[in-house]
Chain A
Amino acid sequence: SQTIHQWPATLVQPVGSPLSLECTVEGTSNPNLYWYRQAAGRGLQLLFYSVGIGQISSEVPQNLSASRPQDRQFILSSKKLLLSDSGFYLCAWSVPPGLGQFFGPGTRLTVL
């Protein structure tokens, strides 16, 4: 069966520090991968998605970036965190067409 992992689960970082969040998927090949941010009390905002290794599409302008160095690994990064980067970050995978996305447990990021 397929599983998706995210780490760390919780992270507290100072403003201006770098960020690296990792997501890995097991039990499937060539998935689409997604990064979302969920601000407190709000819905999900799609940040990036990837349909293959090295293929990244950005949905919103920001100081975050994403990379997909391996088929089942998706990394969210920042060189310098802002206070507004605080939130709950969710990774998801899908195997199209149209079966839905499956989410990881999330990372709670607090920028102080």
Chain B
Amino acid sequence: AQSVTQPDIHITVSEGASLELRCNYSYGATPYLFWYVQSPGQGLQLLLKYFSGDTLVQGIKGFEAEFKRSQSSFNLRKPSVHWSDAAEYFCAVGTSYNTDKLIFGTGTRLQVFP
């Protein structure tokens, strides 16, 4: 069965430090993958997506993610974190082109210290 694992429930970094949020997926076919961000009390915003081609994808707000098929991973990175990046981050895998259903990980809460 398809699944998404985000092993880190909570991560704390200092402002200006680099960031990597981990995401591992289980899917039998070629996946399409997403990262979303959610601020408290808000909906989810799409950061970036991967379908095929270049395994390093760029997103909004200075984020990037790298698809590694051999490791079944799609980790999210940012070279320098800003205090406004504090939020909940969700990784998701698409399971069907027709229905566009997504399976979400349980999320990683990012806290940024000044």
Contact = CB atoms under 8 A, between A and B. Distances in A.
Given A42-B106, A43-B107, A44-B90, A101 B100 contact: yes
Interface string B82-94: 0000000010001
A90 B97 CA distance: 21
Interface residues of A, number: 25
Interface string A17-53: 0000000000000001010000000111010010100
How many residues of B sit at the interface, in one of the four size bands? 20 to 34
Interface in B19-64: 32, 34, 36, 41-46, 49, 51
B71 interface: no
B99 A51 contact: yes
The interface residues of chain A, by DSSP majority, are classed as: strand
> Nearest 9 CB-CB pairs, A to B?
A97-B97, A103-B43, A94-B100, A43-B106, A103-B44, A96-B100, A44-B104, A105-B43, A98-B32
Given A90-B44, A103-B43, A106-B41, 12 more contacts: A32-B99, A43-B105, A44-B44, A49-B101, A57-B99, A88-B41, A97-B98, A98-B49, A98-B51, A98-B100, A100-B46, A102-B46
